Structure 1
Amino acid sequence: MSGARWERVRTELRSVRSRVLATTIAFLAVALLAVGGITHYLRLVDLDESVRQDIVQEAGELQRLAQRGPLGPDASLSEDLDATAEEPFTDLPQLFYTFMTTTVPGEHESILALVGGEPAFEHADRSRFQLDAPATLAAAVERARPGQTVVFDLEQDGRTLRLGVISVVLDEDPRQGYLVVGFDMSAQRRIVLDSLWRYLGIAALTTVVAGLVAYVLVGRVTAPITRLRRATEQISPDDLGRRVPVTQDDSDVGQLAVNFNGMLSRIEAAFVQQRQFLDDAAHELRTPLTILHGNLELMDEHDPADVEETRAMLLDEIERMNRLVEDLLLLAKAQRADFIRPGPIVADAQRLTQAVVQLAANAVKFSAPGDLVALGAAWATGPAAPGEDTPARSLEVWVRDTGVGVAPEDQQRIFERFGRAETGRTVEGSGLGLAIVAAIAHGHGGTVGLRSSPGRGATFTLRLPESPPAAAPVPPAGAAGSGAAVPPAPVPGPDLSPAPSRK
């Protein structure tokens, strides 16, 4: 076998189809073997129990016959042996004779009657094994126990016999009698083992047929994976136009091929954009680089005026190149899905603008010349609302300043109507601005928070939920500050240096 063909064989053996098929056949074979083994083991267990029951049954029938007495000329053991006897048996040979002539042993069963340790009667069918063989007879006499039924196994001519020696005693006959019932266990076990071998043959044939059917079915299911593997082997950066043919896209494997084709399309588009970006960059940068190169060659390094003029021109070209590169990068990023990140929110635009303007005016009012006032906004994620699975989102609009700040004891009062901090007593105003901001926040289902300390500026944060309630009542006078009592979480913004408080 050539190296290429052997490599194809190895690839096929490592394929998903081969692995799924091997796993299926292995599980099927193990299942069939386990079922067959357990079933035939239980048959062997039932065989031992059945032989024990047969010996007990023979002993019971013999006992009932001895109690009933001699049978009539047309009677058999199928009659009611529990009927009242006129005259019980008084002679052991007569009892054994009656029992032997009315009992038909099974296919693998033989019966022998012993009187005084000597054979008295035995079924004449010599096709079965013989119980009067010297070794068998000696073992039966040796194991016999008066008044008991003894069961044991004995090897005879390569077969295993199970013997039941049943003690028989009559009141009128002083002799000891035994009924020996033998079963050929080897023959019966051989039947079970032959059945097991036939089962294994049928199971093997079933596994082969199931393997062939599974090979076809698994091949149909995994065909998209095979085509996917072959496509990946043929795809290169110079040829991204290949696609995996999909015949059925309603299965997981088919959907995988569809997703792979979509990924190839996105990669191809990205490669096209990259090439376009490189082509545009090379085309646009060639001119300023040529200008730089030419002016450097023509510059007279001994002429200060020429050097200064060339330097100014080169710096201008470099600045133009920087802008050009930034524009190209911006155009390249414009192709990405996250180039635009919209943040829609349901809000009253005019009221929201009024609140932000009021916070900004308040920051300017309590800041000195040279202090910094910063504004910003960001989305924040909080815990999920009761009964909801997804976390709640809110828009945080913040205004920071490096002014005089607000004392802790004034941080609640400034959100009340006409409430003022001690530092704001001399500042013009009605004292309603922050109360209006709190009312606007509450009307949107949100809150307004404050984080400040004297001399270190203040940060006001307006929190608005992404989906506000249908209607929210305006809080009564004096209650607006409740929203400000909640300390705001850190929001993005510049680090501000503290400014000295004004006297």
Structure 2
Amino acid sequence: MAGTRWERLRTELRSVRSRVLATVLAVLAAALLLVGGLTHYLRLVDVDESVRQDIVQEAGELQRLAQRGPLGPDASPTEDLDATAEEPFADLDQLFYTFLTTTVPGEYEAILAVVDGEPAFEHADRSGFQLDDPATLAAVAERSRPGQTVVFDHRQGERQLRLGVIPVDLAADDRPAHLVVGFDMSAQRGLVLESLGRYLAIAGLTLVVAGLAAYVLVGRVTAPITRLRRATEQISPDDLGRRVPVTREDSDVGQLAVNFNGMLARIEAGFRQQRQFLDDAAHELRTPLTILHGNLELMDEHDPADVAETRAVLLDEIGRMNRLVEDLLLLAKAQRADFVRPGTVDLGPWLDTTLERARALGERDWRLDARAEGLVRADEQRLTQAVLQLAANAVKFSAPGDVVALGAAGSTGSAAPGAGRELEIWVRDTGPGIAEADQQRIFERFARAETGRTVEGSGLGLAIVAAIAHAHGGDVRVRSRPGAGATFTVRLPLDPAGRAAPTAAPAAPAPPAGEPAPPPDGTPGTGPHPSRTHESRK
């Protein structure tokens, strides 16, 4: 039980749905991390740049104040620093006091004035840290450089400070002095990192919501694939009738299901044809094998006459089995794409040659009802095979001296508007005819009309003719009535690519009274649907 659940879980994890979902979430997570990380990295860079600019600004303002001079007693603290005072600063304490009273440090900023190595003034009301501790003063004294602003990082307890040491020189006061500007970098960076934490939490929630939404959406998109997978798991050679439900054919996945169903239909048809071939072979070979077995058992091996007679019977049955197997193989090949190999056929000479070959089938009154002229696209060998098969059937069901006629002509086919032209090739005889009840089934394999029960044959001839006609995109039909002979017509669509349409020329006088006339143009006869491939009169 646990193993089954584990296998089911592994199958689900390897499914298209899980892979697509994992890919979507991985891409989304990477995009969120990249955007969030890059954004907050740029914010950290902005913090460093802002601190550098603030230090430069403080140094510039102090320099301008020192160059301007002290404010008068009635001057406003916001008076322009570029204005020139009456007298310059003569005392460093006065300069630093004036500067600190006119400067407001930022939230994370502190300012310290150092004169002669000792803290003189400090402005650190809002920053929460001070710069006058001994360690900081020692670091300032160590890093300071005359005439040069120095910026460096300094650790003060748990705080990371960035200090800017600005040297101050007055001509009237020769004491060494520095203005120290400090910024709490850990606090400012902490804000960025805190923002990054909130961003990651929101990104995680976004991934969860997006994952749930993607799970549902991907499940709907890949549902046909899931059904396809389940269908393939349930398909076996004994059950090829299952099909995958298709909800939408206008999508790639829906088209995949349609194609899969089409593939199943072709496989099912192939299995059905294979079974039919085996069933037909087993059915038809049983009788000659029984005859062979019976004759061999009854043969007197010491009687030369009996051996010779049995040998003749056996050879005849073996020949019949060989013909039967060849016919079955031909019908099996009829489903292949290369069963017919179309080429250019010149109808007039082809019809003359086919008639000459048919004369060897028996002593009949061979005639040519109509001789079509023109070029058509067809497999000449298969077309000849079909006509000679119909002629052989006509010979079987007629007596010496009876009329057997061939003909070919063009027709308009269907009467529907826009219907294309067709080529009709027929074989007619004056035999016993075919009952209307038999005219539909004689094209089935091994089927026979009542009038053909005593005639020798495998029962596959008309099925082969129908298969050849169907492979050309046409069909075969029969017009007959008992006692009035039969006319078999093969109808093929003409090549629309510019081949000359055949024109029929009378080649023989009209048949005598009582003989069936050739089929008129466009008159459909009775026969099977083009897809049926069976026979009877052979």
Smaller-chain TM-score bracket? 0.5 to 0.7
1:27–1:124 Cα change, 3 Å: closer
Measured in 2, the distance between the counterparts of 1:338 and 1:76 equals 106
Distance 1:285 1:75 in 2: 129
- Counterpart of 1:280 in structure 2 is 280
- Match in the other structure for 2:536: none
1:167 is the counterpart of 2:167: yes
Partner SS state of residue 176, structure 1 = strand
Q: CA deviation at 1:341?
A: 2.6
Shift of 1:153: 0.8
Question: Helix, strand or coil for the counterpart of 1:80?
Answer: coil
1:216 CA drift (Å): 0.6
Q: Secondary structure at the match of 2:329?
A: helix
**What aligned pairs does 1:380-395 form with structure 2 within 5 A after superposition?**
none
Equivalent position of 2:507 in the other structure = none
CA distance in 1: counterparts of 2:123 and 2:56, whole angstroms: 19
- Counterparts of 1:241 and 1:228 in 2: how far apart (Å)? 14
Shift of 1:160: 0.9
For 1:130 and 1:151, locate their aligned partners in 2 and report how far apart those are by CA, in whole Å.
17
- Post-superposition CA distance 1:9-44 (Å, at most 9, x none): 221111100010011101111111111111111111
- 1:85 matched to 2:95? The reply is no
Tell me, what secondary structure is at the counterpart of 1:249? Answer: coil
In the other structure, the counterpart of 2:191 is 191
Report the CA distance shift for 1:73/1:295 in structure 2 as closer, same or farther (over 3 A). Answer: farther
Asked if the contact 1:76–1:102 (Cα under 8 Å) also holds between the matched residues in 2, the reply is: no
Alignment length, in residue pairs? 357
- The answer (yes or no) to whether the contact 2:140–2:165 under 8 Å persists in 1 is yes
Is the alpha carbon distance of 1:344 and 1:201 closer, same or farther for their aligned partners in structure 2, counting shifts above 3 Å? Answer: farther
List aligned pairs for 1:332-411, cutoff 5 A: 332-343=332-343
Give per-residue Cα distances to partners, 1:132-166, cap 9 Å, x unaligned: 00111111122111111111111111211111110
- Please name the residue that 1:64 is paired with: 64
Aligned positions of 1:420-439 closer than 5 A:
none
Distance in 1, matches of 2:74 and 2:310, equals 143
Q: Which residue of 1 aligns with 2:244?
A: 244
Q: Following superposition of structure 1 onto structure 2, how do residues 97-496 of structure 1 map, counting pairs within 5 Å?
A: 97-123=97-123, 125=125, 128-343=128-343
C-alpha deviation, 1:278, in angstroms = 1.0
Aligned partner letter, 2:229: R
SS at match of 2:343: coil
Structure 1: give runs of 5+ residues left out of the alignment. 354-378, 380-465, 470-503
Say if 1:41 and 1:87 are closer, same or farther in 2 by CA, change over 3 A: same
The Cα of 1:210 is off from its aligned counterpart by 0.6
CA spacing shift, 1:77–1:209, aligned 2, 3 Å? farther
Q: 1:218-244, CA deviations, whole angstroms, 9 ceiling, x for partnerless residues?
A: 000000000001111111111111111
Alpha-carbon distance in structure 1 between the residues aligned to 2:102 and 2:51: 20
Match of 2:510 in 1: none
Percent of paired sites with the same residue: 81
Structure 2 counterpart SS, 1:178: strand
1:363 aligns with: none
Instruction: Give matches, 1:7-46, under 5 Å.
Output: 7-46=7-46
Change in Cα spacing, 1:219 to 1:124, as seen in structure 2 (3 Å) is: closer
Q: Secondary structure at the match of 1:242?
A: coil
Alpha carbons 1:228, 1:257 under 8 Å: kept = yes
Number of the residue aligned with 2:426: none
2:107–2:127: 8 Å Cα contact kept in structure 1?
no
CA RMSD in angstroms comes to 2.5
What SS does the aligned partner of 1:103 have? coil
Report the more deviating stretch, 285-294 or 70-79.
70-79
Unaligned runs of 5+ in 2: 352-376, 378-495, 500-538
SS in 2 for 1:181: strand
Q: How far off is 1:78 after superposition?
A: 4.9
Which range moved further: 5-14 or 225-234?
Answer: 5-14
SS at match of 1:338: coil
- Normalising by structure 2, we get a TM-score of 0.63
Q: Say whether the 8 Å CA contact 1:70–1:88 is kept in structure 2.
A: yes
* SS of equivalent residue, structure 2 residue 169: strand
CA contact (8 A) 1:77 1:103 kept: no
CA distance in 1, matches of 2:172, 2:343: 114
Summarize the Cα distance change of 1:249–1:164 in structure 2 as closer, same or farther, 3 Å threshold.
same
Pick closer, same or farther for the CA change 1:467–1:230 going to 2, 3 Å: closer
Shift of 1:343: 3.0
Q: Secondary structure at the match of 1:162?
A: strand
Shift of 1:86: 2.5
Contact 1:273 1:332 in 2 (8 A): yes
Distance 1:151 1:57 in 2: 13
- Secondary structure of the 1:154 match is strand
1:472 is matched with which residue?
A: none
For 1:93 and 1:351, the matched residues in 2 are separated by: 128
Distance 2:303 2:275 in 1: 43
1:83 shift after superposition = 2.4
What's the counterpart of residue 387 of structure 1?
Answer: none
Q: Shift of the alpha carbon at 1:80?
A: 2.8
